[in-house]
Amino acid sequence: MNERVPFPEQVVATPEVVERFGDLHPPFDRQAAVPEANRCLYCFDAPCTTACPTHIDVPSFIKKIASGNLSGSARTILDANILGASCSRACPVEVLCEGACVMHRYNKQPIQIARLQRFAMDALHESGAPLPFEPGPETGLAVALIGAGPASLACAAELRRRGIRADLYDARPLPGGLNTYGVAEYKLPLVESLREIEMLSQLGVEFHFETKVDAAGLAELERTHDAVFLGIGLGAIHQLGVAGEELAGVTNALDLIAGYKSGALTTVPERVVVVGAGNTAIDAAIASVRLGASEVHILYRRGQEQMSAFTFEYQHAKDEGVKFLWHVQPTGIRGDGVVKGLELTRVAGTEDGSIVPEKDSAFVLEADLIVLSIGQATHANFLSGSSSSGSSSAFGKIQLERGRIVIDRATGQTSQPKFFAGGDCTNGGREVVDAVADGKRAGIGIAGWLGVQHGKG
Amino acid sequence: MAKDRPTLASTFCGIECMNPFWLASAPPTNCGEQIMRAFDAGWGGAVWKTIGEPITNVSSRYSSIDWEGRRMMGFNNIELISDRPIEVNLQEIAEVKRRYPKHVVIASLMVESKRESWHEIVQRAEDAGADGLELNFGCPHGMSERGMGSAVGQVPEYCEQITGWVKEKARTPVIVKLTPNISDIRVAARAAKQGGADALSAINTINSITGIDLDTFQPNPNVDGKSSHGGYCGPAVKPIALNMVQQIQADATSALPLSGIGGIGSWRDAAEFILLGCSTVQVCTAAMHYGYRIVEDMQDGLLNWMAEKGFATIEDFRGLSLPNVHEWKQLNLNYQIVARIHEDLCIGCQLCYTACWDGAHQCIHLDRTSPAPDTTRTPKMVEAESARRISTTPIPKLDSGTSGRTNAITPLERIPRVDEHHCVGCNLCSLVCPVENCITMERIDKDLPFESWEERVAKGLVATGTGEVMSTNT
Ligand SMILES: Cc1cc2nc3c(=O)[nH]c(=O)nc-3n(C[C@H](O)[C@H](O)[C@H](O)COP(=O)(O)O)c2cc1C
Ligand code: SF4
Ligand code: SF4
Ligand code: SF4
Question: How do residues A255-269 score in pLDDT, each as one tens digit?
Answer: 999 999 888 888 899
Residue B1 has pLDDT above 50, yes or no: no
Please tell me which residue of chain B has the smallest CA distance to A434.
B392
Residue A4 has pLDDT above 90, yes or no: no
Query: How far apart are the C-alpha atoms of B258 and A36, rounded to whole Å?
Result: 42
| Closest atom of ligand 4 relative to the B410 alpha carbon | 8
How many residues would you count in chain B?
474
Question: Phi and psi at residue A13, in whole multiples of 5°?
Answer: -70, 135
Amino acid occupying residue A370: I
Is A450 exposed, middle or buried, given 0-12, 13-18 or 19+ CB atoms closer than 10 A?
A: middle
Residue B69 touches chain A, beta carbons under 8 Å: yes
Mutate to test the interface with B, among A45, A56, A407 (most CBs of B within 10 A): A45
Is A122 exposed, middle or buried, given 0-12, 13-18 or 19+ CB atoms closer than 10 A?
A: middle
Write down the pLDDT at residue B399: 64
Residue B2 has pLDDT above 50, yes or no: no
Summarised one tens digit per residue, pLDDT across range A287-342 is 999 999 999 999 999 998 888 899 999 999 999 999 999 999 999 999 888 999 99
Please state, in angstroms and as integers, the Cα–Cα distance from residue A108 to each residue in A104, B347, B439, following that order. Answer: 4, 11, 20
- Mean pLDDT over A398-421 rounds to 94
Strands (E), A56-132: none
Write down the pLDDT at residue A230: 96
Summarised one tens digit per residue, pLDDT across range A170-201 is 999 999 998 898 888 888 888 889 999 999 99
Option in B351, B391, B408 nearest A41 (CB): B351
Give the torsion sign (CA, B404, B405, B408, B412). positive
Query: How far apart are the C-alpha atoms of A395 and A409, rounded to whole Å?
Result: 19
More confident of the two residues A357 and B100: B100
- Distance from CA of residue B17 to its chain's centroid? 23
Q: What is the strand order of the sheet A165-169 is part of?
A: A206-208, A165-169, A142-146, A227-230, A419-421
**List of chain A residues whose C-beta atoms are within 8 Å of the C-beta of residue B349:** 41, 43-44, 102
Query: How far apart are the C-alpha atoms of A280 and A375, rounded to whole Å?
Result: 9
**Which amino acid residue places its CA nearest to atom 2 of ligand 4?**
B433
Residue B84 has pLDDT above 90, yes or no: yes
**Which amino acid residue places its CA nearest to atom 7 of ligand 4?**
B346
**List of chain B residues whose C-beta atoms are within 8 Å of the C-beta of residue A301:** none
- DSSP per position, A396-426: GG--EETTEEP--TTT-B-SSTTEEE-THHH
Write down the pLDDT at residue A103: 96
Query: How far apart are the C-alpha atoms of B199 and B13, rounded to whole Å?
Result: 6
Residue B191 has pLDDT above 70, yes or no: yes
Where does ligand 3 bind, in terms of residues with CB under 6 Å? Answer: B 339, 355-356, 360-361, 363-364, 418, 423-429
Is A83 exposed, middle or buried, given 0-12, 13-18 or 19+ CB atoms closer than 10 A?
A: buried
Query: How far apart are the C-alpha atoms of B302 and A257, rounded to whole Å?
Result: 64
Strands (E), B239-306: 258-261, 280-283
Nearest to B20 by CA among B30, B32, B7: B7
- Mean pLDDT over B331-339 rounds to 95
Please state whether the predicted TM-score (pTM) of the whole model is above 0.80.
yes
Going by pLDDT thresholds of 50, 70 and 90, the confidence category of residue B125 is: very high
Share of chain B above pLDDT 90, in %: 86
The active-site residue out of B17, B139, B284, B423 is: B139
Secondary structure of residue A30 in the 3-state scheme: helix
A102 CB near ligand 2 (under 6 Å)? yes
Is the bond preceding B60 in cis, omega lying within 30 degrees of 0?
Answer: yes
Cβ proximity of B368 and B382 under 8 Å: no
- Mean pLDDT over B277-293 rounds to 98
Query: How far apart are the C-alpha atoms of B5 and B289, rounded to whole Å?
Result: 30
**List of chain B residues whose C-beta atoms are within 8 Å of the C-beta of residue A106:** 347, 434-435
Å between B68 CA and nearest CA of chain A: 6
Residue B336 has pLDDT above 90, yes or no: yes
Going by pLDDT thresholds of 50, 70 and 90, the confidence category of residue B68 is: confident
Write out B149-209 in H/E/C secondary structure.
Answer: CHHHHCCHHHHHHHHHHHHHHCCCCEEEECCCCCCCHHHHHHHHHHCCCCEEEECCCEEEC
Which residues lie across from B76 on neighbouring strands?
B63, B232
Going by pLDDT thresholds of 50, 70 and 90, the confidence category of residue B144 is: low
Nearest to B270 by CA among B254, B294, B289: B294
A106:B347 CB<8 A: yes
Nearest to A58 by CA among A71, A72, A70, A40: A40
- Mean pLDDT over A244-265 rounds to 90
Query: How far apart are the C-alpha atoms of B28 and B31, rounded to whole Å?
Result: 8
B407:A437 CB<8 A: no
Query: How far apart are the C-alpha atoms of A324 and A318, rounded to whole Å?
Result: 8
- Mean pLDDT over B189-212 rounds to 97
Going by pLDDT thresholds of 50, 70 and 90, the confidence category of residue B169 is: very high
- Write down the mean pLDDT value for chain A: 90
Predicted ipTM of the assembly: 0.86
Residue B404 has pLDDT above 50, yes or no: no
CA of A6 to the centre of ligand 2 (A): 36
Residue B473 has pLDDT above 70, yes or no: no
Write down the pLDDT at residue B239: 98
Write down the pLDDT at residue A55: 97
Residue B438 designated active-site: no
Å between B355 CA and nearest CA of chain A: 10
- Segment among A61-70, A390-399, A414-423 with least mean pLDDT: A390-399
How many residues would you count in chain A?
457
CA of A100 to the centre of ligand 2 (A): 8
**List of chain B residues whose C-beta atoms are within 8 Å of the C-beta of residue A50:** 386, 389, 391
CA of B349 to the centre of ligand 4 (A): 5
Residue B437 touches chain A, beta carbons under 8 Å: no
**List of chain B residues whose C-beta atoms are within 8 Å of the C-beta of residue A44:** 349-351, 353-354, 379, 382-383
Write down the pLDDT at residue B405: 55
Secondary structure of residue B352 in the 3-state scheme: helix
Write down the pLDDT at residue B398: 63
Secondary structure of residue A318 in the 3-state scheme: helix
Option in B382, B393, B410 nearest A433 (CB): B393
Write down the pLDDT at residue A380: 60
Write down the pLDDT at residue A386: 47
- Mean pLDDT over B335-361 rounds to 97
Residue A420 has pLDDT above 90, yes or no: yes
Amino acid occupying residue B438: C
Write down the pLDDT at residue B142: 63
- Mean pLDDT over B411-418 rounds to 96
Which residues lie across from B175 on neighbouring strands?
B134, B199
Query: How far apart are the C-alpha atoms of B254 and B245, rounded to whole Å?
Result: 10
Which residues lie across from A330 on neighbouring strands?
A344
Cβ proximity of A22 and A16 under 8 Å: no
Question: Residue A137, Cβ neighbours under 10 Å: how many?
Answer: 9
CB–CB contacts below 8 A, A to B: 88
CA of B264 to the centre of ligand 1 (A): 12
Q: What is the dihedral of CA B408, B414, B416, B417, to 10 degrees?
A: 90
- Mean pLDDT over B182-200 rounds to 97
Residue B406 touches chain A, beta carbons under 8 Å: no
DSSP conformation class of B219: B
Query: How far apart are the C-alpha atoms of B82 and B143, rounded to whole Å?
Result: 11
Query: How far apart are the C-alpha atoms of A206 and A166, rounded to whole Å?
Result: 6
